[in-house]
């Protein structure tokens, strides 16, 4: 990853756009949608605003003169689209004073790139390809547009309205996160996504004990758990849906050293990662138990199938003896020729290639 995705607040000051034609108008539409105030310099002062709505025009200052002599005080960022050599010269000036600058289709003179955007109000998804293929980014955007609920932004806004009050009622951060996970994944989230905000708000207000709703123990602390996950043959596309969910929900992941980096990239960014070497195998189970007893959601991520017949039994026995809540998510067999459901019996039947394919598609 060469480019770090960031979200720039364009309402903190004006942005400067240099250029003309459809390329500049396309940038204007996106910038206006982000609430920006735009100072637009067009070559020969020919501002072609054809196709822009009155509300969009109201946020644009049609500047005249040489943009290279423009006052950059308070400017948030500089954009160039359809400006030719003037845009490149403006980019060099912006760089000289430390301003972020984007020159359309010119990575050499840009310090940031413009992503493809999925806009759902409070939920915004940015897709980038490092500037190498806007067409690929557009195709990814199409898939995300089709997958995201139309009202996902309203759900984010709904949570934002109640976030502080729930924060005051649930002092522990892990419980707060689990509270909102249950809201999003459950009935309240479904009500918001279907446009029934009044019912959703009533249901949220009916929760007398938010900590209990989030699954707190009688002590008020978060309940910890351990999920044993098989990473499969190393291809992230073959990671099971349950395995991916466990990695995204985890507070800490103990992983084999030979688990592929592509699989590790699927772990939630702020989760702790602890590599487990072969010499650590005899001591890892007590560490799993300690982390779970501290209220953390723990994943033990093993390379390969990990929990086929005769494997993983020692881990499960240790967790069961410690009284720790635990789950098992098997991985796909490493040879892809068979899939073995988890079983404590070494005599569990193996699935043939044909039966495995049928199982995976049912």
What are 86-96's pLDDT values in tens digits?
889 999 999 99
Section 22-26 average pLDDT: 88
Q: Looking up tokens 């400067």, which residue turns up?
A: 16
What are 149-172's pLDDT values in tens digits?
999 999 999 999 999 999 999 988
pLDDT at 335: 58
Section 15-25 average pLDDT: 90
Nearest to 256 by CA among 290, 291, 288, 281: 281
The answer to whether 224 and 324 are in contact (CB under 8 A) is yes
Q: At what angle do helices 284-293 and 313-322 cross, to 10 degrees?
A: 40
What are 94-137's pLDDT values in tens digits?
999 999 999 988 889 999 988 889 999 999 999 999 888 889 99
Q: Looking up tokens 């637009």, which residue turns up?
A: 40
Q: Which residue has the higher pLDDT, 305 or 337?
A: 305
pLDDT at 314: 85
Question: What does the alpha-carbon distance between residue 211 and residue 52 come to, in Å, rounded to a whole number?
Answer: 50
The answer to whether 268 and 248 are in contact (CB under 8 A) is yes
Q: Which helix (H) or strand (E) holds 80?
A: strand 78-81
- The count of other CB atoms within 10 Å of the CB of residue 360 is 12
pLDDT at 339: 43
Q: Which region, left, alpha or beta, applies to residue 46 given φ > 0 means left and ψ of -120 to 50 means alpha?
A: beta
The answer to whether 274 and 284 are in contact (CB under 8 A) is no
Highest mean pLDDT among 27-36, 181-190, 274-283, 307-316: 181-190
């Amino acid at each position: 990853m060469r480019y770090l995705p960031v979200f720039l607040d364009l309402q903190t000051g004006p942005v400067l756009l240099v250029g003309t034609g459809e390329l500049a108008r396309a940038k204007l539409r996106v910038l206006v949608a982000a609430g920006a105030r735009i100072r637009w310099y067009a070559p020969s002062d020919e501002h072609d605003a054809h196709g822009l709505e009155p509300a969009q025009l109201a946020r644009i200052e049609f500047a005249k003169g040489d943009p290279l002599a423009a006052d950059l005080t308070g400017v948030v960022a500089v954009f160039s689209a359809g400006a030719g050599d003037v845009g490149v010269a403006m980019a060099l000036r912006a760089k000289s004073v430390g301003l972020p600058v984007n020159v359309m289709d010119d990575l050499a003179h840009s310090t940031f790139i413009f992503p493809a955007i999925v806009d759902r109000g409070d939920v915004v998804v940015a897709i980038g390809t490092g500037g190498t293929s806007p067409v690929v980014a557009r195709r990814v955007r199409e898939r995300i547009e089709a997958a995201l609920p139309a009202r996902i932004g309203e759900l984010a806004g709904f949570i934002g309205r109640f976030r502080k009050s729930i924060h005051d009622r649930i002092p522990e951060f892990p419980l707060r996160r689990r509270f909102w996970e249950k809201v999003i994944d459950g009935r309240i989230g479904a009500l918001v996504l279907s446009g029934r905000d009044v019912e959703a708000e009533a249901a949220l207000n009916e929760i007398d004990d938010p900590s209990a709703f989030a699954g707190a123990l009688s002590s008020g602390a978060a309940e910890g758990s351990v999920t044993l996950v098989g990473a499969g043959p190393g291809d992230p596309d073959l990671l099971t849906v349950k395995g991916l969910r466990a990695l995204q929900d985890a507070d800490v992941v103990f992983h084999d050293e030979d688990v592929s980096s592509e699989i590790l990239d699927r772990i939630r960014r702020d989760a702790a990662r602890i590599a487990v070497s072969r010499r650590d195998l005899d001591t890892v189970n007590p560490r799993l138990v300690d982390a779970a007893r501290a209220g953390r959601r723990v994943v033990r991520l093993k390379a390969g199938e990990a929990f086929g017949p005769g494997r993983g039994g020692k881990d499960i026995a240790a967790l069961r003896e410690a009284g720790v809540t635990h789950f098992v998510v098997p991985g796909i067999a490493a040879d892809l020729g068979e899939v073995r459901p988890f079983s404590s019996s070494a005599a569990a039947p193996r699935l043939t290639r044909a039966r495995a394919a049928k199982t995976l598609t049912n």
